C-alpha cells in the first residue's frame, strides 16, 4: 500500500513567512504615528497645552491645511500686533496676551510638527501651523 503524504508536510513555517504580504500604510497614517510619537517625547509649550486633547488628525490638519496668515482671526488685536512685531524683529508689547517668548516656543514646537509631517519647515508653513493651532484655543 502506498504511503499517504500530506501537503502540509512539504511546507515549513519559514515558507509561510516569506509569502505574507506586508501591510501597506498611507502617508497620512504614518504622519499620525509620527505626531503621536513627537507628542509623547516632547510636550507642547504651556501656551498650547490644550492640543494634548486634540487628535493627531486635528494636529496634522494644522500643518497641511491651506495657509492661514491673518493672526487677527485667531487672537486678540494686541497679540496680533505682537505677532507682527515678533516676525519683523520689532518691539514687544508686554501687555499682550502672547509674548515673544510664547511665539518663540510655538515656533519651535510647530517646527517639529512640520518636520515630521512635511519633512520641510518653510517659514510661511510654520507661521500657518502656529495660527491653526492657536485657532483651536479660542483666544479671541
Which of 108, 107, 96, 40 has its CA nearest to residue 72?
96
What pTM does this model have? 0.81
14 within domain boundaries: no
Q: Is residue 3 part of a domain?
A: no
Q: For residue 33, what are the domain limits? A: 26-135
Range name among 6-15, 78-87, 95-104, 114-123 with the lowest pLDDT average = 6-15
pLDDT at 12 over 70: no
% residues pLDDT > 70 (the chain): 84
Evaluate if residue 16 carries a pLDDT over 60.
no
- Supply the mean pLDDT for the chain: 88
**Residue in this structure with the C-alpha cell 488685536, named with its chain if needed:** 77
Do 71 and 84 touch, CB atoms closer than 8 A? Answer: yes
pLDDT, average across residues 99-126: 95
* Total number of domains constituting the chain: 1
Residue 89 is assigned to a structural domain of this protein: yes
Note whether residue 54 is domain-resident. Answer: yes
Task: Specify if 18 maps to a domain.
Answer: no
Q: In the structure, what pLDDT confidence band is assigned to residue 120 with cuts at 50, 70 and 90? A: confident
What Rg value do the Cα atoms of the chain yield, rounded?
24
Residue 5 belongs to a domain: no
In three-state secondary structure terms, 139 is: strand
pLDDT score, position 23: 74
Q: What is the dihedral of CA 46, 47, 53, 55, to 10 degrees?
A: -110
For 88, half-sphere exposure in the C-beta direction (CA atoms, 13 angstrom radius) is 9
Amino acid at each position: 500500500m502506498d504511503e499517504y503524504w500530506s501537503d502540509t508536510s512539504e511546507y515549513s513555517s519559514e515558507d509561510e513567512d516569506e509569502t505574507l504580504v506586508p501591510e501597506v500604510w498611507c502617508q497620512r497614517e504614518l504622519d499620525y504615528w509620527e505626531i503621536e510619537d513627537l507628542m509623547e517625547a516632547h510636550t507642547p509649550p504651556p501656551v498650547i497645552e490644550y492640543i494634548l486633547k486634540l487628535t493627531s488628525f486635528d494636529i496634522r490638519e494644522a500643518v497641511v491645511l491651506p495657509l492661514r496668515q491673518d493672526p487677527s482671526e485667531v487672537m486678540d488685536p494686541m497679540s496680533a500686533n505682537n505677532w507682527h512685531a515678533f516676525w519683523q524683529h520689532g518691539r514687544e508689547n508686554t501687555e499682550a496676551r502672547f509674548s515673544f517668548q510664547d511665539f518663540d516656543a510655538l515656533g519651535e514646537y510647530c517646527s517639529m510638527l512640520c518636520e515630521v509631517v512635511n519633512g520641510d519647515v518653510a517659514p510661511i508653513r510654520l507661521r500657518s501651523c502656529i495660527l491653526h493651532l492657536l485657532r483651536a484655543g479660542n483666544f479671541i
